[in-house]
Amino acid sequence: MLLRRCFLNKKGVMIQAELAEIVDVYCSIWNEPTAARRLELFSTVLAISCRYCDPTVDVVGYESLDKHIESVRAKKPGIVFRTTDVDIHHDVARFGWRKVLLNGLLLPEGVDFLTIDSVGKISQISGFFGPLHSL
């Protein structure tokens, strides 16, 4: 899959549609059963030294992230899908996602924040589980 890497239009504003493609590929990685294919997909959307953190883990690089994804897939098999548009400003994006387990149980919603590097790849992912709570 060829993804365009330029997210700035003529006014210097990032283009959401192109970033949405990258986010969808990233989400598909969580659904991919084979490590070799996940690693192939990583190289299309993630920087080599991409950092991923959520409340359970903080890892850097393809190999460490792949081990984490494999662990999550083994413990909670299911499908991850994007539930919102991708919002972006400057080099930071966010999107909502959800996981449905194979038995049909919906896990709480999550949100990921991404940092996009100068060549249009994801350099950092910060994931949060569950909805925000009102004061």
Of the candidates 4, 52, 58, 48, which has an alpha carbon nearest to the alpha carbon of residue 30?
Answer: 52
Instruction: Name the helix (H) or strand (E) containing 75.
Output: helix 62-75
Question: How many residues does the structure list for the chain?
Answer: 135
Do the Cβ atoms of 99 and 79 come closer than 8 Å? yes
- The stretch 21-37 carries a mean pLDDT of 96
Percent of the residues in the chain that have a pLDDT greater than 70, as a whole number: 87
Please report the pLDDT score of residue 8 as a whole number. 53
Statement: residue 7 has pLDDT above 60? no
Do the Cβ atoms of 33 and 107 come closer than 8 Å? no
pTM summary value: 0.86
- Structural domains of the chain, with CATH: 16-129 (3.10.450.50)
